[in-house]
A and B are shown apart, each in its own frame.
Chain A
Amino acid sequence: MRDKLPLGLLILMGVLGLTSRFIPHPVGEGMNAYLRDTLLRIISAFALILGLGNLLLRHTHKLEHKEPGWPHSIALIAGFVVTAVIGLLGGVSGEGPLPTAIGSFKFDITTIYNRVLIPLGATMFSLLAFYMASAAYRSFRAKSWLAALLLISAFVVMLGQVPLGGQISPIIPQISQWIMEVPNTAAKRGIELGITLGVLATTLKILAGIERSWLGSSK
């Protein structure tokens, strides 16, 4: 029963989704729209609660057992609790019952978003540039003619993606565009077709009940 109920539900939902796509009858489409617009959103809401609970449990466990990197868990839990309290009780921009300003110093959710989350997020992402420069210097070697070809293509595309390339020679952006539109497109299409066929085969196997690893069993 533990396996059969979720499997039956999956097959039912999968078949409903497929039939509404290929047989555009109003009844099927209406049912599909109801399942999507109502049921899927309810499941998403539960998934959010599940995710948040799981995140908190994981980090509380890490803290209790002093696992490596446990001080980071303190920052996560503190950040989680503080923003949740401010968000729930202080409102979006300080209209809630909780006071979210001391004089001219504001700490409502909008201020936290604009002054903390945006700079932190941008900082994390911009660190990539530094690591990429270091990694490219250490490992990007023209050890074979294929690696050399990749290196030359990378240089042309890098130059073509900045105005400087066009100033060095107007041909550079054109070659860069050609690399992106022709060899890149050919390779991407091949990869995409392969992935899609794989997805299709796996989907059919799941719908037919052959692939059951998602149920947590090895059968």
Chain B
Amino acid sequence: MNWAKLTQIDRRIIFITVGLAILIPLIFPIRMPVGTQRVTKHLFQAVEEIDPQEQVLLLSCDYAPQTEAENQPMTVAVLRHCFARRLPVLINALYVEGAPLLDLAMHQVMDEFNAHAKANADSILYGRDVVYLGWQPPPIVPILSMGRSIKGIYPVDYYLTPMDSLPLMTGVHNYDQVGLVLAITPLASPLWYVMYARTKFGVKVGAGCTAVCAPDFYPYCRSGQLLGMMAGMKGAAEYEELVENEYHPGGRRRATEGMASQSAAHLLMMFFVIIGNIAYFSTRRKS
């Protein structure tokens, strides 16, 4: 066998096979059973432990369209969890580029819940159950200033509605009323919350991050500074399944749908690495 040829596979062939491996499971969906990692379970539990009568969840996002595929399903899954528990949610964006994505996610989940609502009490209402605080630059300013006053740093919401006119904000003043800050990110914002908000104001912090960021956050999960984490699209899929199994909110689960595609891509990458190594050692032995 001519092993030398195997060390020189045209990259166009690699690109086409990777493209097919990703596309085929998306076109012909295969639902794969998703296990649950410890860190995802801990995050789910942390959200479960917030008392909806006393505290709110602050969903802080700083992702842009580039990582929408990984981060947006996390936001949607967390919103479904909170709305199913009737846990009030505050949302803020730390970067402007992703701010409209949060608006899309919030309205998508509100519409899902309101489609089944029979009365006002069953509905998810903006201002009563959820408030989108919007974007305030630079990130360190809202992170620190929310410890003193949320309304001070966000006098109006994303839609320019004065905060005082929103019923939810009458009882929410600062981090004392925030049960958990869940930072969803492709960067390091959960660590900023740990460094500035947790050490100074004692607020609890959780994370949802892209898979490449996850290794940075494991030390903080081990130390308890992060209560839990959704690591990459797999973490998002695990959270989607946990919420679905517990509350059955329904709706499309994009991360779970993407698992077959991700499995195929990982397998193919491993296959190429193995082929490359076999060919490398065979040609080296010969030479």
Contact B270 A158 (CB under 8 A): yes
Closest 8 CB pairs of A and B: A121-B65, A137-B272, A164-B263, A163-B32, A162-B263, A125-B66, A118-B65, A121-B66
Closest chain B residue, CB of each to CB of A158: B266
Judge whether B112 is part of the interface by a CB distance below 8 angstroms: no
Residue-by-residue, is A134-175 near B (CB-CB < 8 Å gives 1, otherwise 0)?
101110111000000001000100110111101100100100
Residue-by-residue, is A106-120 near B (CB-CB < 8 Å gives 1, otherwise 0)?
000010011001111
Judge whether A126 is part of the interface by a CB distance below 8 angstroms: yes
B65 proximity list for chain A (CB < 8 A): 117-122
8 Å CB contact of B33 from A33, A159, A167, A180 = A167
8 Å CB contact of B269 from A36, A48, A133, A192 = A133
Would you give 26 A-B contacts (Cβ < 8 Å), ordered by A? A33-B145, A36-B145, A40-B140, A40-B141, A110-B100, A117-B65, A118-B101, A121-B64, A122-B69, A125-B66, A130-B14, A133-B18, A136-B272, A141-B277, A142-B277, A151-B277, A159-B270, A163-B237, A163-B263, A164-B32, A164-B267, A167-B33, A170-B35, A173-B35, A184-B218, A189-B219
Judge whether B215 is part of the interface by a CB distance below 8 angstroms: yes
Closest chain A residue, CB of each to CB of B235: A161
Chain A: interface size category: 35 or more
In Å, the complex CA distance between A40 and B145 comes to: 12
Q: In whole Å, how far is B173's beta carbon from the nearest beta carbon of chain A?
A: 15
In Å, the complex CA distance between A133 and B237 comes to: 23
Contact A129 B145 (CB under 8 A): no
A48 proximity list for chain B (CB < 8 A): 137
Contact A140 B273 (CB under 8 A): yes
A151 proximity list for chain B (CB < 8 A): 273, 277
Given known pairs A121-B68, A164-B32, the reply for A177 and B138 (CB within 8 Å) is no
B104 proximity list for chain A (CB < 8 A): 114
Q: In whole Å, how far is B192's beta carbon from the nearest beta carbon of chain A?
A: 14
Closest chain A residue, CB of each to CB of B15: A130
Closest chain A residue, CB of each to CB of B38: A177
A41 proximity list for chain B (CB < 8 A): 136-138, 141
Residue-by-residue, is B210-247 near A (CB-CB < 8 Å gives 1, otherwise 0)?
01001110110110000000011010010000000000
Judge whether A44 is part of the interface by a CB distance below 8 angstroms: yes
Q: In whole Å, how far is B155's beta carbon from the nearest beta carbon of chain A?
A: 11
In Å, the complex CA distance between A142 and B276 comes to: 10
Interface of B is mostly: helix
Contact B22 A188 (CB under 8 A): no
Contact A188 B215 (CB under 8 A): yes
B270 proximity list for chain A (CB < 8 A): 155, 158-159
Chain A positions near chain B (C-beta within 8 angstroms) = 33, 36-37, 40-41, 44-45, 48, 110, 113-114, 117-122, 124-126, 129-130, 132-134, 136-138, 140-142, 151, 155, 158-159, 161-164, 166-167, 170, 173, 177, 180-181, 184-185, 188-189, 192
In Å, the complex CA distance between A194 and B25 comes to: 44
Q: In whole Å, how far is A152's beta carbon from the nearest beta carbon of chain B?
A: 11
Contact A163 B33 (CB under 8 A): yes
A140 proximity list for chain B (CB < 8 A): 273, 276-277
8 Å CB contact of B138 from A33, A44, A113, A159 = A44
A133 proximity list for chain B (CB < 8 A): 14-15, 18, 265, 268-269, 272
8 Å CB contact of B266 from A162, A170, A180 = A162
Contact B214 A180 (CB under 8 A): yes
A36 proximity list for chain B (CB < 8 A): 140-141, 144-145
Closest chain A residue, CB of each to CB of B210: A125
In Å, the complex CA distance between A166 and B241 comes to: 16
Q: In whole Å, how far is A26's beta carbon from the nearest beta carbon of chain B?
A: 11
In Å, the complex CA distance between A166 and B33 comes to: 9
A192 proximity list for chain B (CB < 8 A): 219
Contact B68 A129 (CB under 8 A): no
Judge whether B148 is part of the interface by a CB distance below 8 angstroms: yes
B130 proximity list for chain A (CB < 8 A): none
8 Å CB contact of A161 from B14, B218, B234, B272 = B234
In Å, the complex CA distance between A42 and B64 comes to: 24
Residue-by-residue, is B5-43 near A (CB-CB < 8 Å gives 1, otherwise 0)?
000010100110011001000000000111101100000
A167 proximity list for chain B (CB < 8 A): 32-33
